[in-house]
Structure 1
Amino acid sequence: MKYKDLIKELTLEEKASLMSGKDYWQTQNIDRLGISSMFLADGPHGIRKQAVASDKLGLNAGIPATCFPTAATVANSWNVELGEKIGEYLGEEAVAQKVNVLLGPGVNMKRNPLCGRNFEYFSEDPYLAGKMAAGYIRGVQSHGISACVKHFAVNNQEERRMSIDTIVDERTLREIYLTAFEIAVKEGNTMTIMTSYNKLNGTYTNENMHLMQDILRREWDYKGVVVTDWGGSNDRVAGLLAGNELEMPTTAGETDREIIEAIHSGKIKEEVLDACVDRLLELIFTTEEAYKKHHVEFDIEKHHRVAQKAAEESIVLLKNEDNILPLRFGKKVAVIGDFAKDARYQGAGSSIVNPTILDHTLNCFEESGIISIGYEPGFERYGKNNGEKVNHACALAEKADVVLLYIGLDEVTEADGLDRQSMKIPKNQIDLLNALYKVNPNIVAILSCGTAVEMPWIDKVKGLVHGYLGGQAGARSILRVLSGDVNPSGKLAETYPVRYEDTPSFLHFSGKEASVEYRESIYIGYRYYDTANIDVLFPFGYGLSYTTFEYSDIQVTRDGVTLKLTNSGRVAGMEISQLYIGCKSDKIFRPKRELKGFVKVFINAGETKTVTIPFDDKTFRYFNVKTNSWEIEEAEYNVMVGSSSVDIRLMDTILVKGTGAPLPYDKSKLPSYYSGKTNDVTVEEFENLIGYKVPVPTWDRTKPLGYNDTIAQCQYAKGGFARISYHVVVFAHWYLRKIGKRETANLIMMSIYHMPFRGIARMTGGVANMAMLDGILMMVNGHFFKGLRHVLKERSKMLMDRKNVKKLAMLVGKKYE
């Protein structure tokens, strides 16, 4: 241990106290030994450090910071160097705001388009997500502070996320859901990892010895700190045994006492606690050094320009019929859509950034050179019908050569803690589009949202520009693409299905009660669509340009692939060449092709460049469940290079020597997986894959409610008080939506309805403790007065204990003075 001598000077109580937060965002300090508090702040795409109320969940605005494009947006750039540059600027701002740990990036897979937090994640592909995350981490940590990759792991739905049990086979866990984390640890060298709320195959992730010890600590040799998601600790002692150093936020000393009692009883050896303290001290002292070495201010304008560059390179041109774009000089455009006036530029929830500058479309037209004849909102932002606005918009559209229609999803549709209800864009926006089409078919739609949407209306637009959530400079960036000042180079980091029912997890998302089964196994995203031959709207890796590129002269060696790439058009541009690998053997089920490399190249018009994409340790591997290790199957492999997952331009084969591992599967028992058609796998076949009986996916309504049951389950509680409370919550949610308070309604669902009871103790910063929670559960389970007496008794006891602790702390302080 690095800090062995210092740890010897700490009392047991002090060591235990370091394992939990001091308040909502800070860790505990021990001034007598020079151990300072660390500040942890949300920040996947910008620093969210609250100026006040740092001891509470807080909905107040954060200190102004640059709002960069979200991860889902920047992933479309396929530019790892750009991700690293964004990380550098995020790290600089973190140092300026005295943030030790920046809580991001998020690398969870986009298993399903409806996950409410997809805007905060990179991709449906683990290789792309991992490489982008590693770039961000290197950039952030270049300033000496820590990035924190999250949420470890298989956190792919928001509803019931604090109690859901994710059932997934080991191979899928390793190949799909952990690979991005592996790259973040090994290539990004992240100093901190955040565990997810959910269970993994029956055990909470931060207590899961297989995940935390076998894989993270031993296989990946991770030496850094693990922190819980906020309120994500279930059993503090089990978490500590698994190597989860830091619990956030504070529990006002309650879990510190649990750790102390566990050591006194022999449940935990003190050496285990010491090792956790040692890792935490390393993080504290390392990040503290950053403030001594780096400048404490940042250039707001310069950072804004970097945010603009990131947005420009991440915009995806999805349709360009009749080359309607870029807009020709002199064309008169009508600007229609509420999102043109008030840009939709970031997601909602814990990642909300208070931007330093905010560009809006209507303020940027003059410099763009585009001639606007006027603006009409056209629709109500939150879905209400308004015929008058439609009529005004149509009247303006009739006078224009081209209509720029700004549509998308509103701020409360995509949110931390909630999943979307459908893949559709609000009906009132589509009604507007249909009306505009009748008076002017020259429509260019500008789409703003952080995830995939259905587009049954796509034939009504000639141009489609997807800006995703482009950050504070996104509006100006989109105009630069429309005008032709910027040649779009983004490509989709996720597949856009024709309809939601086509998605492989359609029948098993989200888990509605106790568990969610990942029956589709490794076949998520393009791995499913390409293998099962399902038509999609836009494939993974797709994106148009104002120029064209030709591929030629593929050369495959043991080290990688080289090819010639020519810009055959009239303007300079960037092309993303994508390397896919497909095994020709059918002995082990696999997707038709998998992304194993990519490179983004700038090429002038008429120029040819030689492009190299190297192989690495992940190119040919698969996880063998019999040997419990990564293996290579000896076989011939298709080596494919393309402009998207379906637009393969060049192909060759290579024979690869294998590791000689035994075959992991009985093919006859897994017909769906060998065909790739895994959208409707039977429970029997899924059990053959995972090797055990799946747990009952529904709540047990016969048992009393306990710590990990949710408020939603009060609907069938024995106590009338609980059932009434449930209906009050449901009514409050309905009423708030009815009167337009959708953000508050969402907060009720996230922080009350889907919250497990233990969250009352874990998320309130010491207002309630687990002993008081026992009384609340008595009330819920039909013993109202007995429970109420218990709550009042334990609250009095808790307050008295705190007074005694304060007195003791004062005495100890005087002793060391």
Structure 2
Amino acid sequence: MTATRIRQLLEQMTLEEKVAILSGEDFWSVPSIERLGIGKLRVSDGPNGARGGGSLVGGVKSASFPVGIAIGSTWNVELAREIGTALADEVKSKGAHMLLAPTVNIHRSVTNGRNFECYSEDPLLSAELAVAYIGGLQDQGIGATIKHFVGNESEIERTTISSEIDERSLREIYLIPFEWAVKKAGTWGIMSSYNRLNGTFTSEHNWLLGTVLRDEWGYDGIVMSDWFGSHSTSETVNAGLDLEMPGPPRDRGQKLVDAVNAGSVTVETLDDRVLAMMRLMERVGSLDDHRPHQERADDRPEHRALIRRAGAEAAVLLKNDGVLPLAGEGKIAVIGPNAKTAQIMGGGSAQLNAHYRVSPWQGLVSALGEGRLNYAKGCTNDRFQPVLRGEFAVDYFDNLTLSGEPVYRGSIEDAQTFWIGQVAEGKVDALNFSARVRGTFTPEASGVHKVGIYSAGFAKVFVDGKLIADAWSNWTKGRTFFEEGCDEVVGEIMLEAGRAHEVMIEFCTKDFSTLGLAAFACGIGLPLGDEAIADAVAAARGAETALVFIGRNGEWDTEGSDLPGIVLPGRQNELVEAIAAVNPCTVVVLQSGGPVEMPWAGKVAAVVSAWYPGQEAGNAIADVLTGAAEPGGRLPQTFPVRWADNPAHSQDREVYPGLEGKVRYEEGIFVGYRHYDKVGMAPLYPFGFGLGYTSFTLSDLKADDSRFEADGTVTVTLTVANTGKRAGSTVVQLYVSDTEASAQRPEKELKAFSKLKLDAGESRSVELSLDARSFAFFDSEKKCWVVEAGDFVLHAGQSSADLPLSATVRRESSMTLPV
């Protein structure tokens, strides 16, 4: 009945109406067709929440969930499904029908600015979690939009660069999460990536969108462009890009009408795209949704509890010399730049206006009482000067010269803004205006302050009438605002404590490269000196335990900018060394979107990686430190000793970060632990590693290979026992080695896993299933998957470097599998 109705609607649509629903109306919606009763389709950014419409800064408040790498760290498929289900509620609270999530690009390097948003370096772990997350969303009628399809593993020149990836590496590593999302989860949406793939933009890639996605995988959902990621009219439509976002259209609209009339897009092809869009609208309910659009800030207790539990389960205990969980009644020094700042998420399109933010300090105060705690910041870890907080008045001008009378007066909360869509209630052109922003800054201490400004547009900062920072006169493209902004320009001025200094920012738009937006951020900071570290050392010396909260933040781990390396920013390494020298019970709590170098790892008593765990960050961290919760995480990404050990690190710039418009995936299939195994290099902490507050043993591995010759399947069973004194969790990991392959293969590959929780003394049998693809490699010449004859070794354990159990299965014949 539904298919018949959609076909009938299609037959009633004019050419212009068909074209209309193949591109956005505005930043977050597809237009309705009122004449036919077709409702408006709305989307919301994710994946760690549902921000709703409007800007990336401010807006209606939303729940902030753990970021992707934190979910990856849980290795908990059912938890991923729970989060997807909860996010469906969040999307509904914003009046939307689709979430732009999950993000499943692979952790090829350790410096990708967007690694925090993705699950893992391993395709199987990424795929399992994505399938569950999508199921949680779509079982509640909210469409998933898995992204970014494909080869978007860095943020450098991301809107133009060509990812040069051979077909075998694509099939075995980078396409797997998308393939599972289509075949196993039935995802309703896929977002194409910004980059080119082997020379062709993915948004108009016939092989990717046609041959692979639709012909081989049987996909019947939609493909939408990343925002401003469409680059043509006929080419994208003919290749299989259903939806150009955002609106108003740049490549479609009248251009597409003309293309159909000229015959460069056939009516049959156009109708295929329209049918896909209406099929989606029916699935998510927007086809008949005519309710007034409303966004609500639903702060749900059950979501608070889920976020807190997931945050603790994501925390990875990397080292523990018996100092955790915290015990006794002694004094605790709480030190570091992340101690009183809640680092809850990364930066870019995933950021949102959280209901609240719990810092580690606040979480510890709630758990232990403030009387036991003593705080010292020690140093900073900011990439930019701290954003000026408070309300700022804004005058808008419908010209680029700040001349004449303002056409609109408004205000912004904090001296940062991200203008997209409608600006100044439509009184100015969003890409052709100027603005004057006024407010005050009252320093807490006197001294020479740094004043910073970075902008997508031209900007100047005046303090007390004096020009201090000029990002206007010599504006140069940098690594901010998705590569549309300049790097921060910093000036200095002496400011007096307690005095309200006048701050004025002048701004005007400029021509953009790819993304049509206008934005700026302005901050003022007082640098910390040696005395700050000395104060932290004094606090640590007088405490029983020193908790040092270090890492990065969403300024570093962000869309639109890769990291310069994995050394901790600022003087954080120096701070840890100084604290460890005076307190043998030093616990480092790391928050970052990926690995960091740890030259002090052997000098501290414990290390916890807490990632960016969402709005309950401080409570989740306190739960782990105090033992109220188990640190349930296992590394989804290998931590190398140094950045140079990473497989993407190379003297050849074309391998990374890219050269002359190309980034060559030279390492092929040897990503992450596959690389370290290949070269025989021990990492700092291996893939899949994580400690707990109890201990487990694995035994009795058995492999049932009775069907292996017939259909390639094997069933593995083993026993897991909690041999410790408290309940806890572990992840049983099963890897496969092909000992007689004709093609070069990794030493081992993760092919199955199971997370389980056991009480003290409890034992349980675990069953893991392997299908034929678990033993196959992709043959690029034959264009199929091949399972060769010979021995395969199955390795079971609790990390990629701890695999005490093994069994061998053998095939006498080869078999091929379709794509």
> Would the TM-score normalized by the shorter structure come out above 0.5?
yes
Match of 1:39, SS state, is strand
Which structure 2 residues correspond to residues 136-535 of structure 1 after superposition, within 5 A? Answer: 136-252=133-249, 255-288=252-285, 300-321=300-321, 323-369=322-368, 372-382=372-382, 384-507=527-650, 508-535=655-682
Match of 1:468, SS state, is coil
Structure 1 residue 177, shift from structure 2 partner? 0.4
RMSD across aligned C-alpha pairs, in angstroms?
2.0
Q: Deviations over 1:89-126 (max 9, x none)?
A: 00011112111110000000000011100000000000
* Residues in 1 aligned to 2:270 and 2:565: alpha-carbon distance in whole angstroms: 46
Q: Deviations over 1:474-510 (max 9, x none)?
A: 2111111111111212100000111111111111211
* Residues in 1 aligned to 2:816 and 2:696: alpha-carbon distance in whole angstroms: 41
| One-letter identity of the residue aligned with 2:663 | V
Q: Deviations over 1:669-689 (max 9, x none)?
A: xxxxxxxxxxxxxxxxxxxxx
TM-score by length of 1: 0.78
Structure 1 residue 609, shift from structure 2 partner? 0.7
| One-letter identity of the residue aligned with 2:342 | A
Which structure 2 residues correspond to residues 603-618 of structure 1 after superposition, within 5 A? Answer: 603-618=758-773
Q: 1:636 aligned to 2:791?
A: yes
Match in the other structure for 1:779? none
* Residues in 1 aligned to 2:800 and 2:812: alpha-carbon distance in whole angstroms: 26
Structure 1 residue 617, shift from structure 2 partner? 4.3
Q: 1:124 aligned to 2:121?
A: yes
Match in the other structure for 1:67? 64
* Residues in 1 aligned to 2:559 and 2:796: alpha-carbon distance in whole angstroms: 36
Do the aligned partners of 2:181 and 2:187 also contact (CA within 8 Å) in 1? yes
* Residues in 2 aligned to 1:332 and 1:138: alpha-carbon distance in whole angstroms: 46
* Residues in 2 aligned to 1:509 and 1:104: alpha-carbon distance in whole angstroms: 26
Q: Deviations over 1:235-256 (max 9, x none)?
A: 1211111111100011446522
The verdict on how the C-alpha distance between 1:636 and 1:252 changes in structure 2, with shifts beyond 3 A counting, is closer
* Residues in 1 aligned to 2:335 and 2:137: alpha-carbon distance in whole angstroms: 39
The verdict on how the C-alpha distance between 1:396 and 1:186 changes in structure 2, with shifts beyond 3 A counting, is same
Do the aligned partners of 2:39 and 2:289 also contact (CA within 8 Å) in 1? no
* Residues in 1 aligned to 2:250 and 2:310: alpha-carbon distance in whole angstroms: 43
The verdict on how the C-alpha distance between 1:471 and 1:661 changes in structure 2, with shifts beyond 3 A counting, is closer
Q: Deviations over 1:421-468 (max 9, x none)?
A: 011102411121222223223210000011111111212311001101
Do the aligned partners of 2:61 and 2:297 also contact (CA within 8 Å) in 1? no
Match of 1:623, SS state, is strand
| One-letter identity of the residue aligned with 1:267 | S
Do the aligned partners of 2:343 and 2:359 also contact (CA within 8 Å) in 1? no
Do the aligned partners of 2:381 and 2:569 also contact (CA within 8 Å) in 1? no
The verdict on how the C-alpha distance between 1:336 and 1:631 changes in structure 2, with shifts beyond 3 A counting, is same
Q: More helix per residue: 1 or 2? A: 1
Structure 1 residue 512, shift from structure 2 partner? 3.4
Structure 1 residue 658, shift from structure 2 partner? 4.5
Match of 1:339, SS state, is coil
| One-letter identity of the residue aligned with 1:261 | D
Deviates more, 1:108-117 or 1:32-41: 32-41
| One-letter identity of the residue aligned with 2:38 | I
Structure 1 residue 650, shift from structure 2 partner? 0.6
Do the aligned partners of 1:300 and 1:356 also contact (CA within 8 Å) in 2? no
The verdict on how the C-alpha distance between 1:37 and 1:504 changes in structure 2, with shifts beyond 3 A counting, is same
The verdict on how the C-alpha distance between 1:252 and 1:133 changes in structure 2, with shifts beyond 3 A counting, is closer
The verdict on how the C-alpha distance between 1:437 and 1:552 changes in structure 2, with shifts beyond 3 A counting, is same
Deviates more, 1:251-260 or 1:58-67: 251-260
Match of 2:38, SS state, is coil
The verdict on how the C-alpha distance between 1:661 and 1:283 changes in structure 2, with shifts beyond 3 A counting, is closer
* Residues in 2 aligned to 1:426 and 1:576: alpha-carbon distance in whole angstroms: 32
Do the aligned partners of 2:230 and 2:251 also contact (CA within 8 Å) in 1? no
Q: 1:96 aligned to 2:93?
A: yes
The verdict on how the C-alpha distance between 1:457 and 1:641 changes in structure 2, with shifts beyond 3 A counting, is same
TM-score by length of 2: 0.78
| One-letter identity of the residue aligned with 1:223 | D
Do the aligned partners of 2:299 and 2:355 also contact (CA within 8 Å) in 1? no
| One-letter identity of the residue aligned with 1:337 | G
Do the aligned partners of 1:91 and 1:140 also contact (CA within 8 Å) in 2? yes
| One-letter identity of the residue aligned with 1:9 | Q
Q: 1:545 aligned to 2:695?
A: no
Q: 1:566 aligned to 2:563?
A: no
Deviates more, 1:255-264 or 1:127-136: 255-264
* Residues in 2 aligned to 1:60 and 1:367: alpha-carbon distance in whole angstroms: 29
Structure 1 residue 291, shift from structure 2 partner? 7.0
In the alignment of these two chains, the number of paired residues is 655
Match of 1:15, SS state, is helix
Q: Flag structure 1 segments of 5+ consecutive residues without an equivalent.
A: 663-817
Do the aligned partners of 1:631 and 1:658 also contact (CA within 8 Å) in 2? no
Q: 1:650 aligned to 2:805?
A: yes
Among candidates 735, 754, 764, match of residue 599 of structure 1? 754
Do the aligned partners of 1:95 and 1:143 also contact (CA within 8 Å) in 2? no
* Residues in 2 aligned to 1:335 and 1:363: alpha-carbon distance in whole angstroms: 11
Among candidates 44, 48, 64, match of residue 45 of structure 1? 48
Among candidates 77, 82, 88, match of residue 85 of structure 1? 82
Do the aligned partners of 2:86 and 2:303 also contact (CA within 8 Å) in 1? yes
* Residues in 1 aligned to 2:373 and 2:617: alpha-carbon distance in whole angstroms: 22
* Residues in 2 aligned to 1:220 and 1:658: alpha-carbon distance in whole angstroms: 27
Among candidates 3, 9, 16, match of residue 6 of structure 1? 9
The verdict on how the C-alpha distance between 1:410 and 1:37 changes in structure 2, with shifts beyond 3 A counting, is same
Match in the other structure for 1:742? none
Structure 1 residue 297, shift from structure 2 partner? 8.6
Structure 1 residue 80, shift from structure 2 partner? 0.4
**Percent identical residues:** 36
